[in-house]
C-alpha cells in the first residue's frame, strides 16, 4: 500500500532524519530503520516531483497548442 503523504511532509520528515544523523542523535539500533525510512521518503519526493513536472509540461504544451490555434 502506498503511503499518502504530501511532498512537504515527506521533505520535512527527511530533513529531521538528516538532522538527527548529523547530530548523532540516533542510536545504532535505530540507524537501520531511519535509513530505510529516509529511502522511502526520498522515493516519495522524487515521485511527486516527477508527477508535478509531467503535469506542468502537459499544461505548457496545451497552452502552446491553444496559442498556435489562436494564431491560425
Residue 60 CB-half CA count within 13 A = 6
Whether the pLDDT of residue 2 is over 80: the answer is no
Cell digits of residue 21:
544523523
Alpha-carbon 52 to chain mean position: 10
Q: Which helix (H) or strand (E) holds 24?
A: none
The better pLDDT of the pair 2, 10 is held by: 10
CB 10 within 8 A of CB 40: no
The three three-digit cell numbers of residue 35, written as one number: 535509513
Predicted confidence band of residue 63 (pLDDT cuts 50, 70, 90):
very high
- Summarised one tens digit per residue, pLDDT across range 4-33 is 899 999 999 999 999 999 998 788 889 999
> What local confidence, expressed as pLDDT, does residue 1 receive?
43
pTM, whole model, 2 decimals? 0.77
Amino acid at each position: 500500500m502506498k503511503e499518502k503523504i504530501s511532498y512537504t511532509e515527506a521533505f520535512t520528515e527527511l530533513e529531521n532524519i538528516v538532522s538527527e544523523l548529523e547530530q548523532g542523535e540516533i542510536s545504532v539500533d535505530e540507524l537501520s530503520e531511519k535509513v530505510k525510512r529516509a529511502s522511502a521518503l526520498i522515493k516519495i519526493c522524487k515521485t511527486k516531483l516527477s508527477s508535478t513536472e509531467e503535469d506542468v509540461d502537459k499544461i505548457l504544451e496545451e497552452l502552446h497548442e491553444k496559442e498556435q490555434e489562436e494564431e491560425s
